[in-house]
Amino acid sequence: MQNETTSVLTIEQQKKITLTGVESVDAFSDTEIRLTVAGKKMRFTGAHFKVLSFSKGSGAFSASGEVSLVRYGGAKGKFFQRLFK
């Protein structure tokens, strides 16, 4: 049986991202952040991103910026995209 990791994603007013259960920060730029969460890929796109903190030990991650799209795993992001309209 695999250990399951609980992840909690909070996006405050499309300006601040807080996420638990992050295994790695794969890439980041001013317009995109790519993470691995519970073995799946997660991508945030937007503008003016800044990584505020990341603890590999605890899996806690936070960033600021203008979030316009979130994609998780193989999903096309349509669920999250509708949240931001």
For the chain, the distance separating the N- and C-terminal CA atoms, rounded to the nearest angstrom, is: 40
Whether the model pTM is above 0.85: no
| Spatial distance between the Cα atoms of 33 and 2, rounded to a whole number of angstroms | 27
How confident is the prediction along the chain (85 residues), in pLDDT tens digits per residue?
Answer: 455 668 899 999 999 999 999 999 999 999 999 999 988 999 999 999 999 999 999 999 999 999 999 998 865 555 555 555 5
For 40, which DSSP code? E
